[in-house]
């Protein structure tokens, strides 16, 4: 029977290392969430473009005056993005998020 101190396969970490791993995990999560939200925004814009095209085709089908027609979504990205700069922790991640957004 082996004691807990005899299992040398288990790595030993101090509190500083554990905090670093946690911080790294949080940063990876924030980056992944930011990347995912950007992909969702792109998908929404793509769907809006498709709605605009379908609306145009519908106007042609109905023989409506195209000069009076306006796209349902004039700005594809207009109201999608949310501003998170009001969160106190935002400044800590601002540089990383700016790099991902470019």
Q: Is residue 24 one of the residues assigned to a domain?
A: yes
Q: Is residue 22 one of the residues assigned to a domain?
A: yes
Q: Is residue 3 one of the residues assigned to a domain?
A: no
Write the CB contacts of 100 (distance below 8 Å, at least 6 apart in sequence).
Answer: 31, 34, 35, 38
How does pLDDT run across 1-19, given as a tens digit for each residue?
455 555 556 677 788 888 8
Asked if 70 and 64 count as a contact pair (C-beta separation under 8 A), the reply is no
How does pLDDT run across 38-74, given as a tens digit for each residue?
899 999 999 999 999 999 999 999 999 999 999 999 9
Full-model pTM: 0.69
CA angle (24 as vertex; 17, 93 as ends), nearest 5? 130
Q: Is residue 5 one of the residues assigned to a domain?
A: no
Q: Is residue 53 one of the residues assigned to a domain?
A: yes
Compute how many other C-beta atoms are within 10 angstroms of the C-beta atom of residue 93.
17
The domain in which residue 21 lies consists of 13-101
For the chain, the domain total comes to 1
Would you place residue 96 in the very low, low, confident or very high pLDDT band (cuts 50, 70, 90)? confident
Q: Is residue 34 one of the residues assigned to a domain?
A: yes
């Amino acid at each position: 029977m082996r004691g807990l101190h005899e299992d040398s396969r288990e790595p030993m970490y101090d509190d500083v290392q554990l905090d670093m791993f946690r911080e790294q995990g949080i940063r990876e999560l924030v980056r992944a969430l930011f990347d995912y939200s950007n992909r969702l925004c792109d998908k929404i814009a793509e769907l809006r473009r498709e709605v605009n095209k379908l609306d145009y085709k519908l106007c042609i089908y109905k023989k409506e005056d195209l000069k009076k027609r306006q796209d349902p979504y004039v700005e594809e990205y207009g109201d999608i993005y949310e501003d998170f700069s009001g969160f106190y922790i935002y400044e800590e991640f601002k540089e990383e998020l700016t790099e991902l957004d470019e």
